[in-house]
Amino acid sequence: MIISLIAALSSNRVIGKNNDLPWRLPDDMKYFMETTKGHPVIMGRKNYQSLPEKFRPLPNRTNIVVTRSANFTAPGCQVVHSLENAVAVARNSNPKEVFIIGGAEIYTLGLGVASRLYLTEIQAAVEGDTYFPEVNMAAWKELSRKRHLIDDRHPFAFDFVVYERK
């Protein structure tokens, strides 16, 4: 099973602000939905709570929420108390790939076990309060890159990049 991280991050590694995305990039949302559809997704409690209610749980995916809170419930999701338990739950359905979808703390934990990164690299420094962990890029090989230019729906240029651990 491939363990992947998927994230959109600015050039200064910002991934969030006030428990929300600090940008509106519709094609990135579409990319996220298409890439993770049909696969288990692992997220932290705060990331789960940041999802609009109409998208909880994320449709067409096994949603696994990691929290330290013993009494936390997330209807339609499996709630676990460690990343290791989340990976074990995901493995039960024998998927080809599982996606860690954030937030920052879960990304930091997941970086050590991930073999693939799907990063939307936004070509702008953005103000925020939540950051993607620092990645030693020497340990990763770029598999693909697709450029998306600024247009009337996207205020920033960005690249969809897939990396694999060397």
Written out in words, the top-level CATH class of the domain with range 2-141 is: alpha beta
Which tokens belong to 64? Answer: 């696994």
Angle separating helix axes 83-92 and 104-111, nearest 10 degrees: 70
C-alpha distances (whole Å) from 52 to each of 30, 46, 88, 166 are: 15, 12, 27, 36
Banded model confidence at residue 13, pLDDT cuts 50, 70, 90: very high
| Banded pLDDT at 66 (limits 50, 70, 90) | very high
Task: Show me where the domains of the chain are located.
Answer: 2-141
pLDDT tens-digit map of 21-34: 999 999 999 999 99
Predicted pLDDT of residue 45: 96
Strand, helix or coil at 62? coil
pLDDT band at 90 (very low <50, low <70, confident <90, very high): very high
Structure tokens at 7: 């994230």
**What is residue 134's predicted lDDT score, i.e. its pLDDT?**
96
> Looking at residues 142-162, what average pLDDT do you find?
98
pLDDT cut 90: percent of the chain above it: 98
**Band of residue 82 on the pLDDT scale cut at 50, 70, 90:** very high
Model confidence pLDDT, tens digit, residues 26-57 = 999 999 999 999 999 999 999 999 999 999 99
- Name the average pLDDT for the chain: 96
Residues 6+ apart with CB under 8 A from 36: 6, 58, 61, 99, 101
